[in-house]
């Protein structure tokens, strides 16, 4: 199979990427405790995968209330900034660039993960459904629990959160990241504001689509002022159909997802950000995005477009050659194959990922996947 399309250089903001192969954000829950601090083990993991054309960190919570899973790293304390500097220095030493994904889970959390055991925060006091969170805080595989019932944020708190995103962006730059990505997908906080199902506010942040997109717009504006729009990306996860609507991103399937997300993407286009990342559903028998929607995305957004979601090299080539996407992200394949770009270029076989070591634990199933030997 010819994969030349994936190895063309491409401009992303001020950067020239060596290929179109992306390491996407992948939660691995290996941060040092207490404190949710990035560490040397994580630095090794990212450096091993620095053959990617572009790298984005795992989701890193912007404040203590933003955590929804045990052992995930933050970027709000001095120790966390210092920890992430180990990662960025390792990636830069390998000749690559890396963006930080800024994350707030909103209602997808548990009181045991929240400061002083408080309720998680959300646009409205509506609990997340059909999702589990890791709540165990010691070593091991973790314990799953239903998310706790959230409380609604006040209007003042929403505005404070916009500034917390901006501060997290400052912290990311201080940690040596080359830019940031806003996690606005997968049923987490920004997605909760966008969705008509989880956002039933009656102030300026709820009701009409324009109001439900206000939080997104304010965060994009505030963070762009910190890092520059040319060093900013946003991740969405639009979905259009499912046999199990409750399963779809924690009950957030929209009545008109095309209108919702094209309107959201117009906000990003107006802001002039560097890239849009679209995470497609990645479970078995998941609905695929239509080429019509992809064409609408391309017509609406002039920056780089990243697609992710169980992509094979062949499907990635097809997407790039059709002009629908510029970069292709490989998740599970990159977890199990630190040398994935070389394997794709040479059509070498791939290691299989071990699901038992995906989240939490030690070096096993994290930095011990072997590179290919001919």
Residue 365 belongs to a domain:
no
Q: What is the pLDDT of residues 137-191, one digit of tens each?
A: 544 456 889 999 999 999 999 999 999 999 999 999 999 999 999 999 999 999 9
CA 158, 113, 99, 23 torsion-angle sign: negative
Domain span including residue 17: 4-357
87 within 8 A of 40, measured Cβ to Cβ: no
Q: How many CB atoms lie within 10 A of CB 210?
A: 11
Residue 53 has pLDDT above 80, yes or no: yes
Mean pLDDT of the chain: 94
**369 part of a folded domain:** no
Q: Is the pLDDT of residue 246 over 90?
A: no
Residue 264 to residue 258: CA distance in whole angstroms: 10
Mean pLDDT for 197-225 is: 98
- 142 lies in some domain: yes
Q: Which residues are catalytic?
A: 188
For residue 72, pLDDT over 80 is answered with: yes
Residue 367 lies in a domain: no
Instruction: Name beta bridge partners: 85.
Output: none
* CATH code assigned at 59: 3.20.20.70
Window from 125-129, 165-169, 239-243, 307-311 with minimum mean pLDDT: 239-243
Which tokens sit at 146? 């239903």
> Mean pLDDT across the stretch 255-272?
95
Residue 84: its H or E element: helix 78-93
Q: Which of 371, 368, 358 is nearest to 30 (CA)?
A: 358
DSSP code per residue over 179-240: EEEEE--TTSHHHHHH-TTT----STTSSSHHHHTHHHHHHHHHHHHHH-GGGEEEEE----
Polymer length in residues for the chain: 374
In a domain, 374, yes or no: no
Residue 362 lies in a domain: no
pLDDT by residue (tens digit) across 306-332?
Answer: 999 989 999 999 999 999 999 999 999
> Rounded to 5, what percent of the chain is helix, strand, coil?
35, 15, 50
Q: How much of the chain exceeds pLDDT 70, in percent?
A: 94
* 69, pLDDT greater than 70: yes
Rounded Cα distance between 235 and 101, Å, is 9
**Which sign does the torsion angle of CA 21, 11, 304, 86 carry?**
positive
Residue 247's pLDDT is 45
Q: Is residue 250 part of a domain?
A: yes
What pLDDT, on the 0 to 100 scale, is given for residue 27? 97
**Residue 112 in domain:** yes
The two beta strands, 10-12 and 304-308, are unpaired
Tally of structural domains, the chain:
1
């Amino acid at each position: 199979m010819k994969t030349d399309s994936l190895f063309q250089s491409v401009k992303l903001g001020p950067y020239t990427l060596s290929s179109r192969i992306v390491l996407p954000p992948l939660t691995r829950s290996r941060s040092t405790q207490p404190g949710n601090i990035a560490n040397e083990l994580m630095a090794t993991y990212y450096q091993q995968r620095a053959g990617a054309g572009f790298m984005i960190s795992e989701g890193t919570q912007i404040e203590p209330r933003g955590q929804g899973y045990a052992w995930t790293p933050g970027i709000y304390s001095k120790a966390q900034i210092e920890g992430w500097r180990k990662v960025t220095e390792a990636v830069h030493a390998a000749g690559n660039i890396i963006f930080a994904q800024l994350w707030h889970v909103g209602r997808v959390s548990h009181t045991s993960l929240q400061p002083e055991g408080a309720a998680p925060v959300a646009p409205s006091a509506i609990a997340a459904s059909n999702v589990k969170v890791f709540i165990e805080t010691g070593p091991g595989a973790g314990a799953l629990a239903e998310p706790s019932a959230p409380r609604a944020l006040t209007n003042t708190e929403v505005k404070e959160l916009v500034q917390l995103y901006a501060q997290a962006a400052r912290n990311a730059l201080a940690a040596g990241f080359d830019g940031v990505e806003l996690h606005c997908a997968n049923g987490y906080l920004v997605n909760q504001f966008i969705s008509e199902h989880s956002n039933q506010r009656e102030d300026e942040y709820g009701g009409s689509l324009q109001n439900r997109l206000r939080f997104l717009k304010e965060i994009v504006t505030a963070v762009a002022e910190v890092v520059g729009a040319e060093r900013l990306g946003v991740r969405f996860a639009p979905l259009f159909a499912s046999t199990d609507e409750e399963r779809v991103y924690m009950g957030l399937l929209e009545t008109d997802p095309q209108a919702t997300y094209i309107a959201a993407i117009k906000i990003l286009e107006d802001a002039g950000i560097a890239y849009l990342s679209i995470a497609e559903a990645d479970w078995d028998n998941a609905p695929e995005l239509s080429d019509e929607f992809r064409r609408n995305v391309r017509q609406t957004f002039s920056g780089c477009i990243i697609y992710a979601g169980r992509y094979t090299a062949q499907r990635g080539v097809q997407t790039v050659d059709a002009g629908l996407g510029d970069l292709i992200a490989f998740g599970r394949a990159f977890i199990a194959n630190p040398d994935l770009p070389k394997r794709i270029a040479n059509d070498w076989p791939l290691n299989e990922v071990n699901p038992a070591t995906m989240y939490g634990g030690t070096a096993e199933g994290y930095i011990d996947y072997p590179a290919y030997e001919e």
